[in-house]
Amino acid sequence: MIVQDSALFRQQCFVAGRWISSDGRVDVIDPSTQQPFGSVPILSDEAVQSAIQAADAAFPSWKGLTAKERAFLLKRWHDLILDHRRELAGIMSREQGKPIAEAEREVLSCASYVEWYAEEAKRVYGDTIPMGQRGKRIIVLKEPVGVCAAITPWNFPLSTITRKAAPALAAGCTVIIKPSSYTPFSALALAVLAEKAGFPAGVINVVTGEGDRIGHILAKSKRVRKISFTGSTEVGRKLMRDCGESLTKLSLELGGHAPFIVFADADLDLAVTEAMTSKFRNSGQTCVCANRFLIQDTIYDEFASRFIKEVKNTLVVGPGNCTGCNQGPLIDEKAVVKIESQIEDALKKGAKLAIGGKRVPGRGFFFEPTVLLEVTCGMRIAREETFGPVAPLFRFSNEDEALKIANDSDYGLAAYFFTRDLRRTWKIAENLECGMIGVNTGVLSSEAAPFGGKKDSGMGREGSKYGMDEFLEIKYMCLGDLD
Ligand code: NAP
């Protein structure tokens, strides 16, 4: 498919039900070729304000629809996303670099959030609470918070959007989506389908341009009542400072540095298979990626040799549209330089390179899948989020040491461990400092599960019934004179 020929490929923003442009534009680069293949508007401050105004104007009538009416439109959007699965995957793969098969799986995941919240829209229940005084009753109502902004990253250009927009819309909020400047076309394609689904003008808006400036405008606005952000911890902090002044509600899905612990009693075949998926999905560019492999001493060599063999035999680096390739490029030159310097630092401090370790020569931001052995806590890779196809293997001797290393991180998003011992399962799960745990699995994202972290990995949850709460206010009503 030629991406530019797709009716879903739009190089304009979607504001107040209209497709708008601007004089300033920014190129979007294909990370496999380092060549631009399209551009999007750098919206002016006034245009961003007009998106806020449109969302604000559309809010009362959108909120006024019945949950069933909102669910009906969400369901139509869901069906259209699935109908256009291949086109969406093609656009995403071109701008982000991931293999087409992975991009198609992300389209399914993106659609699953829309379907889930179309269903949840009808289950926003309130409460009645027994009152301690005679003649009075307590009733708890749930209401949409108002205009919401969804600021999203490049690594999952579609699913990070619907994880926010679908619950917001289901709750009765209107949304302004600000996608990453690396991957705006996926977001704009979703807007084409939302328009086709029949959402009223202003209910869904997509704005593009510099994140810093637009983020600031959204955070300062009195009309935007909630910002849901997914991205780096550094930008999350900035946004929180901005929202601190305006007292805008904020949820933050930030970086991660997941430990992947393999105990000696684990099923090693399973641990190796799951390690491969957890580490190398999206070429290691996921927030829940296994970033620190903690392997018990007695099985360290066996695990390492099986894992290295899998890396060697199964990973093929190449562009997203190359048949048989399963490792796409990194997003940009900065990402390549970051992992080069982490590897250099680790080798200087005593780590051993088992496989990979270098960028792939030629065009594109490709990097060899890499395994480092004998990694220790004093190395930079033990502290910094990697965001690339590098697997560092640490050693530990017992449960307490594994926990100590695993928790020795500012991040607290996901963690994984492998064991067949029930007592150990509870001990480790209860003592890991993170928001999500995979036990004997390396994949844990699902629309039905609460996704999110603690510590520097953020606050709030996405997906599941909990994800809806982020877009709802509680209003309590006290009825008196009932004697
Ligand atoms: P990023 O640089 O923080 O950017 C994320 C978004 O924020 C982009 O849309 C960006 O726009 C915008 N932005 C930039 N400066 C801003 C500001 N001052 N105020 C408001 N918004 C601003 O992150 P990224 O490089 O795209 O994504 C990778 C990071 O996301 C990793 O750390 C990863 O772990 C994290 N992540 C977390 C989760 C999770 O669920 N916890 C999921 C996926 C990714 P521009 O592109 O225009 O600058």
Per-residue confidence at 107, pLDDT binned at 50, 70, 90? very high
Q: Would you state the structure tokens that stand for residue 229, as one six-digit string?
A: 């952000």
Q: What is the DSSP string of 162-183?
A: HHHHHHHHHHT-EEEEE--TTS
Mind listing the pLDDT tens digit for each residue in 57-81? 999 999 999 999 999 999 999 999 9
Neighbours of 478 (CB within 10 A): 10
Closest CA to 75 of 163, 199, 202: 199
List Cα–Cα distances, 223 to 56, 105, 244, 327, in angstroms. 7, 36, 15, 42
Is ligand 1 within 6 A of the CB of residue 385? yes
Q: pLDDT, tens digit, for every residue of 322-349?
A: 999 999 999 999 999 999 999 999 999 9
Quick check: 472 pLDDT over 90?
Answer: yes
Collect all residues with Cβ–Cβ distance below 8 Å to 286 and sequence separation of at least 6. Answer: 155, 156
Q: How far is the CA of 296 from the centre of ligand 1 (A)?
A: 34
Question: Would you state the pLDDT for residue 98?
Answer: 98
Q: Are 106 and 158 in contact (CB under 8 A)?
A: yes
Q: Please work out whether the CB of residue 230 comes within 6 Å of at least one atom of ligand 1.
A: yes
Q: What is the 180 CA–ligand 1 centroid distance (Å)?
A: 7
> Residues near 199 by Cβ (< 8 Å), separated by ≥ 6?
73, 77, 169
pLDDT score recorded for residue 4: 82
Q: Is the CB of 153 under 6 A from ligand 1?
A: yes
Choosing from 226, 235, 333, 470 the residue with most ligand 1 atoms within 8 A of its CB, the one to mutate for a pocket test is: 235
Contact 411 CB / ligand 1 (< 6 Å)? no
* Cα dist from 253 to 26, 110, 237, 286, whole Å: 26, 16, 11, 12
Q: What is the DSSP letter of 415?
A: E
Locate 259 and state its tokens.
């430990």
C-beta 180 within 6 A of ligand 1: yes
Q: Which atom of ligand 1 is nearest to the CA of 235?
A: 3
Instruction: Write out pLDDT tens, residues 165-191.
Output: 999 999 999 999 999 999 999 999 999
**Per-residue confidence band for 240, with pLDDT thresholds at 50, 70 and 90:** very high
What local confidence, expressed as pLDDT, does residue 56 receive? 98
**142 - beta bridge partners?**
474
Q: Which residues are catalytic?
A: 253, 287
- Going by pLDDT thresholds of 50, 70 and 90, the confidence category of residue 3 is confident
The predicted model scores a pTM of 0.98
Pocket lining: 211 vs ligand 1, CB cutoff 6 Å: yes
CA of 219 to the centre of ligand 1 (A): 15
CA of residue 260 to ligand 1 center, whole Å: 24
